[in-house]
Structures are given as structure tokens and as C-alpha cells.
């Protein structure tokens, strides 16, 4: 599952937004409510069946939380987060990463982030650097300095 900085928010009920791309019927109503609460949006649970333009109603941070609720429901093998918590404050970001680790223990999480605080929630770090060489050439890996 890929979650970008600006997640796709389809038209329809909030329940549809959270279960996307799966149909609403794929999940028990209690599962959807729990995922929304775990993502830090318990106040929206009573609005699950409201049909609105949620892309306009929700703030950027709320949209990111909805996308993370989507991940909690989908339980993917792989979860790619591309600046998926950039609109959240550091405390909320930390809480959500901890929730993902607890609720999705069998999911490999790969994050692309500019915030150094995200590193604490991962076991490994990969740094891409621009280097030149021909395809197939073996390039010796150099250790990446701490803090790079």
C-alpha cells in the first residue's frame, strides 16, 4: 500500500473514504470506527455515513490520518509512506508510527521523510546519493556518516 503526502480522498461517505479502494462492505463497521479512532480521529466516528466532499472538509493532517486508518484496515504486507505524516506535529507523528508498529507487526514499513524524527521508528536507513558509473559496475558501499 502506498500513502503519499496528499492522499486520494474519493467522493462519498467517510466510510467509503476510509475503506478505499476496497468496498465499504469489506470491513465490519466496528473495524472502521476503531481504525479511525486509532488514527487519532475519534470525533469523526459519528460521521462515518455522511456523504460529503471530504477532500474539502478535512484538513491536510486529517486527510493523512484518514489514509493511515486505511492502512490499519488493509493490513498490507508492505506499507510505503511518502511524507505521509508531514502535516502532523511531531507528537502526533510519533503516536501514529507507534500505532502502526503495534497494529501492523507483520507489515514492512518504508518511509520517505525529511524529518529526522521518523528514523527512530525504523530498523534500517537507506540513503540515496547521486553517483556516476556504468550499469552493472560494482560500486563499493561507503558507510553513511551518522546524521547524514
Average pLDDT, stretch 82-92? Answer: 89
Structural domain contains residue 11: yes
Structural domain contains residue 137: no
Structural domain contains residue 138: no
Percent residues over pLDDT 70 in the chain:
86
pLDDT, the chain, mean: 87
What's the rounded Cα separation, in Å, for the pair 36 and 147? 34
What pLDDT band is residue 141 in, cutting at 50, 70 and 90?
very low
Structural domain contains residue 136: no
What's the rounded Cα separation, in Å, for the pair 69 and 132? 41
**Could you list the residue range(s) of the whole structural domain that residue 36 is in?**
2-121
Number of domains in the chain: 1
Structural domain contains residue 146: no
Structural domain contains residue 140: no
Q: What is the pTM of this model?
A: 0.80
Structural domain contains residue 10: yes
The yes-or-no verdict on residue 38 having pLDDT over 90 is yes
Identify the CATH number of the domain in which residue 55 sits.
3.40.50.300
Joined together, the cell numbers standing for residue 16 give: 467509503
Q: What's the pLDDT score for residue 52?
A: 94
Instruction: Please give the span between the terminal C-alpha atoms of the chain, in angstroms, as a whole number.
Output: 27
Amino acid at each position: 500500500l502506498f500513502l503519499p503526502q496528499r492522499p486520494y480522498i474519493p467522493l462519498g461517505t467517510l466510510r467509503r473514504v476510509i475503506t478505499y479502494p476496497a468496498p465499504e462492505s469489506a470491513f465490519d463497521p466496528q473495524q472502521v470506527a476503531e481504525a479511525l479512532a486509532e488514527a487519532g480521529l475519534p470525533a469523526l466516528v459519528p460521521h462515518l455515513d455522511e456523504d460529503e466532499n471530504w477532500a474539502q472538509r478535512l484538513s491536510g493532517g486529517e486527510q493523512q490520518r484518514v489514509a493511515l486508518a486505511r492502512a490499519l484496515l488493509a493490513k498490507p504486507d508492505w506499507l510505503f509512506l511518502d511524507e505521509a505524516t508531514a502535516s502532523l506535529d511531531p507528537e502526533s507523528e510519533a503516536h501514529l508510527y507507534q500505532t502502526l508498529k503495534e497494529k501492523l507487526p507483520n507489515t514492512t514499513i518504508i518511509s520517505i521523510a525529511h524529518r529526522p524524527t521518523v528514523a527512530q521508528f525504523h530498523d534500517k536507513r537507506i540513503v540515496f546519493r547521486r553517483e556516476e558509473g556504468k550499469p552493472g559496475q560494482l560500486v563499493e558501499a561507503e558507510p553513511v556518516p551518522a546524521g547524514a
